[in-house]
Amino acid sequence: MGVFRHLIWIAAPVAGLVLGVNVAAAQQPSAPAKLTAETCLGCHGVEGFTIPDDKGGTRNLHVDKDKFSKSVHGSRDCVDCHKQITEVPHQKLDRIRVDCVSCHRDQLEEAKDAKDAKKITTLSLVMDRIDEYLKSVHARPNAQDQSETNATCYNCHQAHYVYPPGSPQRAEWRQNLPNICGKCHEGQLAAYKTSVHGREVLEKNNPRAAVCSDCHSRHEVESASLDATRLDITQNCGGCHQANL
Ligand code: HEC
Ligand code: HEC
Ligand code: HEC
Ligand code: HEC
Ligand code: HEC
Ligand code: HEC
Ligand code: HEC
């Protein structure tokens, strides 16, 4: 740990020089330099940037610059999401807090003011998904820790690499969804793996077979013990298996 820290804090001024950023000036409250994505990528853009974690493993702190810049948020600065970080070098955070909701709402208002039809369409769709999520089982307080929700946006969506529908990266993320849901639902993943759908998706890479969210819905996930949910799930089968209903 110690060695890593030293390497990093030595790397800071070097990264600053390379990027033409005055790290010392950035630290002075009187002249706050704008913290651009380039500044952050001076450290986090370095491949293999990992630190030891609390459990004796490693924690990956690398953000792939190329993949990030091509994502829907690629023109954003890191601090648009990481508002907790206001200077560089920065302190260790006790917990990462990112608000995925407010910015979409604000951007939709701006798009409406500017009458930007394309942005209005995209961002309205995002807001609809947010409303659905907020009513779901995942938005409710966790039974073990009520300060956390059961699952939040970036437990399912990759924080740095969100791509629009229709792109190959988006299709790849979808094929991997069972593993993402399965991080929290291990038993269901194990059962799914042996099912027809699981084998089609995970072994044969068939994009037409059902991933978890095709049956459970993406955002309106509800307890499967409710009759209404079971009915919804059965109706979802029909989207792909019309002949059998
Ligand atoms: C000088 C190198 C350096 C720069 C520049 C840098 N970071 Fe970091 N960052 C680190 C290190 C080291 C850690 C690990 C801290 C720890 O856990 O001990 C880290 C951790 C993080 C984390 C995880 C939270 C945590 O504390 O564990 C986030 C988020 C983060 N950085 C965002 C940013 C953003 C945003 C910027 C640009 C404004 C940035 N970093 C610039 C070195 C840097
Ligand atoms: C769209 C919002 C968003 C943007 C833009 C963003 N981040 Fe993040 N970042 C997040 C979220 C959310 C997490 C927490 C992810 C999680 O816990 O799964 C995170 C986590 C991190 C971590 C910790 C990784 C870990 O596994 O502990 C680092 C480091 C980081 N971000 C750096 C950056 C850097 C550098 C940039 C800019 C190039 C950036 N982020 C841009 C949302 C964002
Ligand atoms: C600082 C503003 C901002 C923040 C914070 C932000 N987003 Fe976005 N997001 C946008 C904008 C703007 C768009 C629309 C981009 C476009 O016009 O294609 C968008 C689009 C999206 C889309 C839709 C992609 C599509 O093309 O259909 C998803 C999904 C998304 N964001 C997820 C997230 C998640 C998850 C987080 C939190 C980790 C987050 N966003 C945080 C600004 C933001
Ligand atoms: C339980 C997992 C989960 C959570 C939590 C979640 N999403 Fe999603 N989201 C998905 C899945 C799965 C899809 C689409 C998969 C499919 O049908 O192809 C999706 C699709 C979307 C879309 C449509 C664009 C696209 O790529 O299809 C948007 C916008 C979106 N999510 C935003 C959000 C936001 C914002 C949050 C948090 C408020 C959130 N999601 C929380 C799983 C989740
Ligand atoms: C996203 C689309 C999709 C959804 C939703 C879906 N399936 Fe499937 N299902 C497939 C595909 C693709 C296959 C692969 C075999 C094929 O091509 O017929 C398959 C195979 C099957 C098979 C094996 C049949 C055979 O001919 O080998 C059964 C049984 C089945 N699904 C039942 C269901 C049930 C029950 C539901 C709802 C609870 C459901 N499916 C939801 C796409 C879907
Ligand atoms: C073909 C449709 C279908 C797919 C695909 C599917 N499920 Fe389910 N799931 C169901 C049905 C139907 C139930 C209701 C319980 C039952 O009858 O087994 C259920 C029940 C559940 C439950 C409630 C607890 C339980 O076991 O009864 C969870 C959690 C769950 N599924 C998560 C997942 C996850 C995670 C995935 C992907 C790895 C997944 N499901 C894939 C249809 C599906
Ligand atoms: C970060 C962890 C996490 C992720 C990721 C996650 N979930 Fe959940 N989910 C939970 C928790 C916690 C609950 C509430 C406790 C429970 O019932 O298991 C829950 C509840 C559920 C339920 C209701 C279970 C019941 O019948 O009571 C279903 C169905 C479900 N999730 C499906 C999914 C699907 C599908 C995905 C992926 C698209 C997913 N989850 C992703 C943590 C997660």
Q: Whose CA is nearest to atom 22 of ligand 5?
A: 196
- Please tell me the distance between residue 197's alpha carbon and the centre of ligand 5 in angstroms: 6
Q: Is the pLDDT of residue 21 over 60?
A: no
pLDDT of residue 15 exceeding 80: no
pLDDT of 171 over the 60 cut: yes
**Who wins on pLDDT, 225 or 30?**
225
pLDDT of residue 32: 63
The pLDDT of residue 225? 87
More confident residue, 16 or 223: 223
- Choose the weakest-confidence range: 49-53, 96-100, 204-208, 236-240: 236-240
Q: For 32-74, what is each residue's pLDDT tens digit?
A: 668 999 999 999 999 999 999 989 999 999 999 999 999 999 9
SS3 annotation, the chain: CHHHHHHHHHHHHHHHHHHCCCHHHHHCCCCCCCCCHHHHHHHHCCCCCEEECCCCCEEECCCCHHHHHCCCCCCCCHHHHCCCCCCCCCCCCCCCCCCCCHHHHHHHHHHHHCCCHHHHHHHHHHHHHHHHHHCCHHHCECCCCCCCECCCHHHHCCCCCCCCCCCHHHHHHHHCHHHHHHCCCHHHHHHHHCCHHHHHHHHCCCCCCCCHHHHHCCCCCCCCCCHHHHHHHHHHHHCCCHHHC
Among protein residues, the one whose CA lies closest to atom 14 of ligand 5: 209
Sorted by where each begins, the domain ranges of the chain are 2-81, 153-244
237 lines ligand 4 (CB under 6 A): no
Per-residue pLDDT at 6: 40
Residue 17 has pLDDT above 60, yes or no: no
Report how far ligand 1's centroid is from the alpha carbon of 107 (Å).
Answer: 27
Task: Using the atom order of ligand 3, give the atom closest to the CA of residue 72.
Answer: 15
Q: What is the pLDDT of residue 244?
A: 53
What is the structure's pLDDT at 29? 52
pLDDT at 195 over 50: yes
Which comes out higher in pLDDT, residue 18 or 150?
150
Cβ of 98 below 6 Å from ligand 3: yes
State the pLDDT at residue 8. Answer: 44
pLDDT at 25 over 80: no
pLDDT band at 222 (very low <50, low <70, confident <90, very high): confident
pLDDT at 90 over 60: yes
Band (199; pLDDT cuts 50, 70, 90): very high
Instruction: Quote the pLDDT of residue 239.
Output: 87
